[in-house]
Amino acid sequence: MRKFLIIAAMLASGLAASSCDRVEADAPAAQRAVVTRACVDGKLTGLGLKYDRIGCACAANVLQAQLSPAAMTVLEDYARGRENGFEAALPTLPAEEQALFAKGDGGTARAKVAADCR
């Protein structure tokens, strides 16, 4: 009986690890989907992201490639309407990524990042 329990525990831990890996692998895709949807819905116009559906998907892909995972999480928080999380996490980013989220000149930096998406 003990061997059976050990084998069952090992199998369960292996299945749990593979499901966690799958969730982590899908996280960037989920972030891009959230950012794309918010862009299409016009929720990211404050960040200068005003595109059609294809442009929004392009911008989400470009930003995912250009930003660190932490910065993409900040963008996702903004896209989901979590302004408190956005404001709290913004100062933790490197200066060049903070500039992308800044009002005013930051919009110019974002426009340069996603310029090919128009």
Name which of 95, 91, 92, 117 is nearest 106 in CA terms.
95
Q: Give the pLDDT score at 104.
A: 59
Rounded CA-CA distance 91/24 in Å is 25
Question: For 44-103, what is each residue's pLDDT tens digit?
Answer: 887 778 888 998 999 899 889 888 999 899 889 889 988 788 888 888 999 888 887 776
Q: Give the pLDDT score at 25.
A: 47
Taking the CB of residue 65, how many other CB atoms lie within 10 A of it?
Answer: 10
Contacts for 75 with CB less than 8 Å, ≥ 6 apart: 31, 35, 47, 63, 67, 101
Q: Which residue has the higher pLDDT, 1 or 110?
A: 110
17 — pLDDT class (breaks 50, 70, 90): very low
Could you tell me the pTM of the whole model? 0.69
The structure tokens listed for 108 are 């110019």
Question: For 40-52, what is each residue's pLDDT tens digit?
Answer: 999 888 777 888 8
* Residue 42 burial by Cβ neighbours in a 10 Å radius (0-12, 13-18, 19+): exposed
Residues 46 and 102 sit within 8 Å (Cβ to Cβ): no
